Amino acid sequence: MEILNYEDPRGEINEPDVPRRGINDRYFPRKEYFSQISFHSDERLYTGNIKNISLGGAFVQSLDIFPVGQALTVVIPFTHKAKTVKRTGKVAWNNGEGFGFEFKRPK
């Protein structure tokens, strides 16, 4: 399935309804994307840097450590447009450099 639009006019990410596959067999290709972001959980605000992003999630470089499954909301700025996109999701994995953030799929 070819994905023609990554973003619709409402700022939401379009993604097909497909089953999740393993980390080394990704459905959505990663793109390098270097940007400072903010994210929050339980009324606390954090900052970090996105290193790469796909329609399914992003790698967030952060000194803050979150458990796998932790719900977060991230605010991602887009440099080619004067707007941001807010996405909810959860921590998929973490390591000493940051964490993988899995976007919640729209219903």
On whether the pTM is more than 0.85, the answer is no
User: Mean pLDDT for each 10-residue chunk of the chain (107 residues)?
Assistant: 38 46 60 87 91 91 93 84 84 93 86
Q: State residue 31's pLDDT score.
A: 83
Residues 55, 5: Cα–Cα separation, whole Å = 10
CB 83 within 8 A of CB 75: no
Q: State residue 32's pLDDT score.
A: 85
Q: What domains are there in the chain, each with its CATH number? A: 31-103 (2.40.10.220)
CB 20 within 8 A of CB 34: no
Residues 39, 90: Cα–Cα separation, whole Å = 11
